[in-house]
Amino acid sequence: MANTGFCAFCCRRKWVKRDWAIATVAITVIIAAVITVILFYTVFSDSRNRKTSSPTFAPPSAGDFVPLTLLQSAKATGAFCLDGSLPGYHFQKGFGSGSSNWLLHIEGGGWCNSIESCNSRKGTSLGSSNYMEHQVQFSGILSQDPSQNPDFYNWNKVKLRYCDGASFAGHPESEFKNGTELFFRGQLIWEAMMNELLSLGLSKAKEALLTGCSAGGLATFIHCDDFRDQLPKDATVKCLADAGYFLDEPDILGNRTMLAFYRDVLQLQGVAKSLQQDCVGRMEPVKCIFPQEIIKNVKTPFFVVNPAYDSWQIENILVPIGSDPQGYWSSCRLSIKKCDATQIKRLQGYRDAMLKALSMFQRNEEGGMFINSCFSHCQTSYSAWHSPNSPRINNKTMAESVGDWYFNRKESKLIDCPYPCNPTCNNDDYT
């Protein structure tokens, strides 16, 4: 009974030769149409995922996902991630007027200061390329959309993945040979990355900008002058650290938690060898990892982007875990909107410490800064860089301020008024 409809139609009369001919033509047309639709969908879908092979045509649309490239040359030098896997990077070729210019961005992600924390880290993308995304989306300062990234949209852009746990500054001499299977090769990774990128065209750069966020921002401080030294003498080379200006400030109990943490990182991974040796010779090496000391001797023009109420620093330096057993800061350390008047006063003190630590650099004629009053961390690689909702100082976005500085359009040293004066801030809320 399920086929009665079909039978009622075709059994009314016996089909003649002409009927079969018409049906054959109709079926042929339908099949051809279906094939056309399938082919169109396949070509369209593939065209969205396939990288263009030549920059002669229009560049890929903004927000394209950029594939991961593993650094095969690292095998020869032993430049491995914490777990012994190959390090990686994402490279998007420049086009047009930006084809000879380069922007490198070093990924952030904290540090590991013990065998236990490094062992845990090697089971993540911050310690092993086995866990890294095969594609990442470029946005903010890495965007190819001129409306989001007006000055650097068409440059060659590289995102360096972070997998050594010590801001690209660890040394193998500090590795333990007792079966822990941890590789402290950050400095070797930096050198291998540079060699790779130089071979891809960085060696002929006309303009270049080294940037990084958080731990990547600290790596930018550490490696800025070395980056400058490896590029052509007539190239314009500058550096920018985003949320990398970490302070050596006491926590709410008076303990110097960050100083002790960095001391462990230095001892574990031999980081002192990558720091400025004149500084290491004058004071305790751990103090030389703080940007306030590094920036004194950096010769390359530098720009500092940092919120005065850096959310990571408030949560980990001012009010680290264990410093607030009664839970008085439990909400405030995660959201500035939930701080009472007494807590805000303490946060204003942290802002004062940030500005004091930057005071000498503020007099640097080649330097630039954008210190807003937002409760945030890492702003340049997201929409905060340049969009209708970006935080502004004197009606300027970070992108506009950095562009003014890089291209010498005008001096760019912007310091925001204290919280909560800036309505353009989109403050983080981790509660």
Asked if 251 is an active-site residue, the reply is no
Count of alpha carbons within 13 Å of 189, Cβ hemisphere only?
32
Q: Which helix (H) or strand (E) holds 258?
A: helix 257-269
Of the residues 105, 223, 377, 386, only one is catalytic, namely: 377
Ordered alpha helix ranges (H), 106-256: 115-121, 186-199, 215-229
Contact by Cβ (8 Å): 369, 415: yes
Which string of DSSP letters, residue by residue, matches 98-134? GTTEEEEEE-------SHHHHHHHTTSTTT-GGGS-S
Round to whole Å and give the CA distance between 407 and 391: 22
Q: Which residues contact 242 (CB under 8 A, 6 or more apart)?
A: 211, 212, 213, 214, 216, 217, 305, 306, 378, 379, 380, 381
Question: Which of 431, 228, 223 is CA-nearest to residue 339?
Answer: 431
Contact by Cβ (8 Å): 402, 384: no
Question: Based on the number of CB atoms within 10 Å of its own CB, is 426 exposed (0-12), middle (13-18) or buried (19 or more)?
Answer: middle
CA-CA-CA-CA torsion sign (51, 53, 55, 56): negative
Of the residues 64, 151, 242, 310, only one is catalytic, namely: 310
Asked if 377 is an active-site residue, the reply is yes
Round to whole Å and give the CA distance between 406 and 225: 16
Q: Which helix (H) or strand (E) holds 401?
A: helix 398-406
Q: Is 140 helix (H, G, I), strand (E, B) or coil?
A: helix
Contact by Cβ (8 Å): 156, 195: no
Q: Which helix (H) or strand (E) holds 236?
A: strand 236-242
Of the residues 125, 139, 143, 214, only one is catalytic, namely: 214
Contact by Cβ (8 Å): 321, 257: no
DSSP 53: S
Both tokens of 185, joined, read 């090769």
Amino acid at 132: M
Asked if 225 is an active-site residue, the reply is no
Both tokens of 224, joined, read 């800025």
Both tokens of 376, joined, read 């945030």
Phi, psi of 364 (to 5 degrees): -70, 115
Both tokens of 294, joined, read 């590094």
Residues with a catalytic annotation lie at 214, 310, 377
